[in-house]
């Protein structure tokens, strides 16, 4: 892989994305203290929290990571890197209107949805134009392209639901709710994580990368599943709906096999903070899938609630944080220190991260994740709020750790 500093935007341009992402992570955990864990899924308070977590934390993290890693993976410069100067501001404005719509007046959902759609169109458009000039065109780049398509489908269905809530279109918004969530969570976030994992795990774990054809099996299967879920809104609802879930499970099995091969091929096994976070992330992912399959078999909402909590806070949370601990020090060193190697002494890459602080964050967050998951299953509200305190404490340590990297090196 031919890596050039010109491929990725300056670290100072992307620093707000990383910092705002972890700040929204803490804010999401803090606001969870005001939500009953048994709140019905259709409750707007819970829906507002999901959007706060996914748009504030997860989406900003994806913007930050993909802005830096995407061009390196495809070995091409950004088509127009200047979009990242204001993209995060527009996303936060859209999120503010969405939260106002869910909590106060549904009219704001139209404004929020429109702004977020505009942001995603700019992001996806720029990324697709960057991919157009890619020197490397593999199943990974195809997965990136497909995930952006599903992102736009998910956002457009969300905006359609906002119009339905305001009686602008004659439609029951719950009829396309599953397309909205499935398209964004499975088609965009999980598919993108799967593709990037095929790149990052061999890079960070000194493991062998699986072949392009092997990843294609999981990427194509999952893409077909998302298309089937979209199609279920128009025809053969039962067949396509059930088929979508079946193919999703098959795609996950393919991906888990690929993960096993990569971790099994590690030249040197090292249980650093990145590896520990990845263990928790994919362990949560596996448990989430098991709980979700159990829900499909017995329709008990407790299993669905636990599955989603493990997916959002366990899988998404730990895989983002773990990769931040690798990506941010690397990018800081790459942009700030690598040009100075021949003129002065520079710190080693591992010296940029406060490992003691990072391990402390991991410990509190793991304890909080385990206890909160148990609390949801046994419906113990007091245990859940106690577990959230641990997660919040871990979140504040995370903010301190990331800020320390930037403050002392940029």
User: For residues 187 and 224, what is the distance between their CA atoms, to the nearest angstrom?
Assistant: 10
| 3-class secondary structure, 58 | helix
* Nearby residues of 372 by Cβ (< 8 Å), 6 or more positions away: 37, 309, 313, 383, 384, 387, 388, 391
pLDDT(226) > 80? yes
Annotate 143-190 with DSSP letters as a single string.
Answer: HHHHHHHHHHHHHHHHHHHHHHHTTSS---GGGTHHHHHIIIIIIIII
Which DSSP letter does residue 313 get? I
Per DSSP, 6 falls in state G
| Strand, coil or helix: 75 | coil
Q: Is the pLDDT of residue 73 over 80?
A: no
Nearest partner of 178 among 33, 360, 42, judged by Cα: 42
Mean pLDDT of 62-74: 79
Q: What is the pLDDT of residue 136?
A: 66
Q: Does residue 78 sit within a domain? A: yes
Structure token digits, residue 272 = 């650093």
Q: How confident is the model at residue 237 (pLDDT cuts 50, 70, 90)?
A: confident
State how many domains the chain has.
Answer: 1
DSSP string for residues in 298-345:
H--HHHHHHHHHIIIIIIIHHHHHHHHHHHHHHHHIIIIIGGGTTTS-
**pLDDT computed for residue 314 by the predictor:** 94
Residue 59, in any domain of the structure: yes
pLDDT digits (tens, 9 = 90+) for 191-205: 999 988 888 888 887
Does 285 map to a domain?
no
The parent domain of residue 130 ranges over 1-137
Could you read off the pLDDT of 141-155 as tens digits, one per residue? 888 888 989 999 989
In a domain, 128, yes or no: yes
Q: Domain for residue 363, yes or no? A: no
Q: What is the mean pLDDT of residues 219-224?
A: 91
Average pLDDT estimate for 181-185: 91
Q: Please state, in angstroms and rounded to a whole number, the distance separating the CA atoms of residues 155 and 185.
A: 11
């Amino acid at each position: 892989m031919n890596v050039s500093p010109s491929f990725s935007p300056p670290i100072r341009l992307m620093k707000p994305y990383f910092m705002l992402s972890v700040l929204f992570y803490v804010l999401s955990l803090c606001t969870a203290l005001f939500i009953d864990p048994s709140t019905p899924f259709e409750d707007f308070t819970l829906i507002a929290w999901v959007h706060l977590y996914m748009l504030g934390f997860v989406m900003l993290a994806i913007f930050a990571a993909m802005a830096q890693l995407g061009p390196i993976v495809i070995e091409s410069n950004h088509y127009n890197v200047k979009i990242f100067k204001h993209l995060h501001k527009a996303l936060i404005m859209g999120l503010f209107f969405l939260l106002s719509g869910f909590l106060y007046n549904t009219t704001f959902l139209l404004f929020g949805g429109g702004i977020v759609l505009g942001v995603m169109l700019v992001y996806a458009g720029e990324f697709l134009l960057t991919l157009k000039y890619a020197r490397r065109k593999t199943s990974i780049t195809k997965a990136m392209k497909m995930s952006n398509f599903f992102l736009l489908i998910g956002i457009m269905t969300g905006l359609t639901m906002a119009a339905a809530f305001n009686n602008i279109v004659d439609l029951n918004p719950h009829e396309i709710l599953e397309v909205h969530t499935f398209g964004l969570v499975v088609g965009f976030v999980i598919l993108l994580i799967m593709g990037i994992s095929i790149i990052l795990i061999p890079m960070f774990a000194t493991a062998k990368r699986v072949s392009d054809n092997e990843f294609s099996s999981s990427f194509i299967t999952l893409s077909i599943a998302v298309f089937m879920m979209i199609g279920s809104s128009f025809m053969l609802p039962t067949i396509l709906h059930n088929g979508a879930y079946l193919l999703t499970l098959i795609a996950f099995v393919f991906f888990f096999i690929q993960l096993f091969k990569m971790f099994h091929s590690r030249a040197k096994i090292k249980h650093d903070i990145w590896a520990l976070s990845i263990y928790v992330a994919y362990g949560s992912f596996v448990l989430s899938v098991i709980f979700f399959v159990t829900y499909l078999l017995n329709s008990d909402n407790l299993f669905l609630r636990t599955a989603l909590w493990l997916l959002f806070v366990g899988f998404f949370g730990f895989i983002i944080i773990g990769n931040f601990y690798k990506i941010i020090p690397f990018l800081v060193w790459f942009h700030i220190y690598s040009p100075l190697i021949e003129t002065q002494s520079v710190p080693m890459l591992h010296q940029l991260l406060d490992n003691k602080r990072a391990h402390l964050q991991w410990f509190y967050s793991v304890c909080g994740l385990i206890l909160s998951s148990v609390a949801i299953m046994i419906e113990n509200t007091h245990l859940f709020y106690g577990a959230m305190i641990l997660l919040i404490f871990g979140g504040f340590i995370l903010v301190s750790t990331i800020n320390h990297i930037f403050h002392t090196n940029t």
